[in-house]
Chains A and B, each alone.
Chain A
Amino acid sequence: MSTVAPPADWRRLDPRTVLVTALVVAGVVAGAAVPLTLGLTRWFSLPVAVLQVLAGAVLVIGVAAGADRVRWHRTRYRIGQEHVDLHTGLLLVKRRSLARDRVRTVDLTANPMLRLLGLVTVRIGTGEQGSESTLELDPVTRAEGERLRRLLLDRAATTPAGGVHHEGELAVLDPRWIRYAPVSFVAPMLGGAAAGAVMQVSEWVGAQGQVIEWVGDRFRETPLLWTIIALVLAALVAGVVGALGLWIEMWWNYRLEREPGGTLRVRRGLFTSRSISVEEARLRGVDLVEPLGVRLLGAARLDAITTGLAKDHEARNADHNTLLPAAPRTRADTVAADVLREADTPTGATLTPHPRAARGRRLRWSLAAVLGPVLILTLLGALLTPVLLWIALGCAVAAVPVAVMLALDAYRALGHALSGRYLVTRSGTLRRSTAALERAGVIGWTVKQSVFQRRAGLLSVTATTAAGGGAYTAYDTDASEGLTFAAEAVPGLLEPFLERSPRGA
């Protein structure tokens, strides 16, 4: 490659990327340097060890910065009339080109380091699977990131017409929503992770035995049951604190806006700021998600059902399609209505309940799941030792009511309806999901019926779609009613394959 400056329409990344890389590597090196220096003092005097480590650190940082300098030098991008081009590569030059009319998302991310310098990482995606469909510009200035976002997503022609129209801000963070953070499933997981991390780190430094001994000492006088309760409580507290921290990092400065040109934009993040844009022409509906704990507090989260959101690994971890964090249900409904440009949200529509037979199925499933292990315990108890019989009894007494309650709740969750331009399906108990899918977005039907469902006069109707999870199902509907629902949802598609006969014939 020549060293002459690129033609005017080609642009370069921000040169401060070299500084960022150097600082990041310096941070990593600093972390490794302390134990290394301590290790080296076994063979060398302290000043010598420090000098050696310093020399090594300078070398590593220099190489990393140099490599990044070369990458910067060889990277250039161009927003043409038809295409977005990116030339990059350290050793081999990769030339990649995306058609501009296929660009679906332009997401801006900035970690604390980049934010300090006023830089952002831009990811331009077509929403297809695989990393080949995403161009990453790492980093450019924030102003340039905003310019790219506007330039690539502003297509006046795609603005959906009609409906209730709210431009500008649709929702901002209410700090009180943080009360929903500890009841999410994240909290117990983080608690477990904290306990695991203590064990792991202590094992690395060879002190795991001491840690266990120390904990044992604290509880020498207390009975075993209290010890377990105290430890579980400690893990839970750690989990709650972790969940609160995670929530603040994820959702601070949250703001949902509608921009001219028909784009929804979510901005959020305390340390790492993220900006995620969803083109409204790609929006096929919303999914109102109520995890059990959040639902008990009367709150719900709102996800977008949209085609062409980045589906790669990184995006999946980052709650990419969440439009609204867990917020009071009425607030979530309002935001859903605003997002869909409807007067009333379809997720709040009155749903057709499913037949009683569906309740029986759920009760049988959950009781089988509980009583299976109990039965095995009983069998082993009868053969081996009566202690197991008591354990089996305890398990049954504790778990059966929970199983029955969950089954009844799962049955209550079932429902489906047509509401204006949308079809709505609801199901789930630990994670209740009310999905409102645009009827025009349905690209096929799958109807399933097991032998048991056939005997009970039930079936499951699945609408397949290019957006979101790919399929939304109304489980265990009445056989006739479910098919009529599907036939009415998308006129003409299912009708030719239906047979109608008088009831009882």
Chain B
Amino acid sequence: MPQGEGETVRLRPPRNTLNERAVGWWRAQWLLMTAVPVVPLAVLGALIEPARFWLLLPAAVLAAAGTATAVLFPLWWFRTHRWEVTEDAVYVLTGFFWQEWRIAPMSRIQTVDTVRGPLEQLFRLATVTVTTASAKGAVRIEGLDHEVAADLAERLTRITRDTPGDAT
């Protein structure tokens, strides 16, 4: 027991960071999300003379907030998202305010999916999702270089295929 030995035990961060392009990808996502309310507001503001101030003001506030988030936060997210695949397990850390470490052993992995959304393709990134037999045990690694992701998926698939058992 750690108390008896006077030790503190911590989870060490996984070894790998995501691809640097993930920062750009997150920024693009945020800017798009910001554009969804801002653009209609701005267009309406340009067209409707009497309500111009009350339409352009929220548009400006939202645009400023969205842009600031898009510039600053991804740098921070980049440092808080880490992953690692060893011979025995997949290990992922996400979040800062709500940190979450997920560990899935190789022997229990059931499926390995690689998904590349349109934005991810633009940044040559991919998301690898590793599922186990548990409804709540899926592990997602977002923002990997697409070649790294393809190699990883292939490696995981090979290892899980060679592991006997039905993974439950």
Contacts and interface: CB of A to CB of B under 8 A. Distances in A.
Interface stretch (B20-28, B94-102, B155-163): B94-102
A451 B6 contact: no
Secondary structure call for the A interface: mixed
Given A466-B168, A481-B1, A444 B11 contact: no
Specify which of A447, A466, A471, A497 lies most central, judged by the most chain B CB atoms within 10 Å of its CB. Answer: A497
Interface in B63-87: 84, 86
Interface string B16-36: 000000000000000000000
Nearest to A447: B101
A470 to B, nearest CB: 4
B2 A480 contact: yes
A444 B103 contact: yes
B9 A498 contact: yes
B1 A499 contact: no
A496 B15 CA distance: 12
A480 B4 CA distance: 12
Contact of A464 (B12, B100, B136): B136
B50 to A, nearest CB: 33
Contacts of B132: 443-444, 464, 466
Given A450-B97, A464-B132, A443 B167 contact: yes
A449 B101 CA distance: 9
A454 B98 CA distance: 9
Interface string A415-455: 00000000000000000000000000101111111110010
B52 interface: no
Contact of A470 (B2, B84, B134): B134
B137 A481 contact: no
Interface string B82-118: 0010101101000011111111110010000000000
Specify which of A446, A447, A492, A504 lies most central, judged by the most chain B CB atoms within 10 Å of its CB. Answer: A446
A466 B167 contact: yes
B41 to A, nearest CB: 31
B49 interface: no
B60 interface: no
Contact of A497 (B6, B7, B11, B108): B11
A447 B11 contact: yes
Specify which of A465, A479, A502 lies most central, judged by the most chain B CB atoms within 10 Å of its CB. Answer: A465
A329 B10 CA distance: 38
Interface of A: 307-308, 441, 443-451, 454, 462, 464-467, 470-471, 479-481, 483-484, 487, 492-494, 496-505
Given A443-B108, A448-B98, A480-B3, 7 more contacts: A450-B97, A450-B99, A470-B136, A484-B1, A497-B11, A499-B12, A501-B10
18 contacts: A308-B168, A443-B137, A443-B168, A444-B132, A446-B136, A447-B101, A447-B102, A447-B103, A470-B134, A481-B3, A496-B86, A497-B103, A499-B9, A499-B10, A501-B8, A502-B6, A502-B8, A503-B7
Interface of B: 1-3, 6-12, 14, 84, 86, 88-89, 91, 96-105, 108, 132-137, 139, 167-168
Q: Which 3 A-B pairs have the closest CB atoms?
A: A466-B133, A464-B137, A443-B108
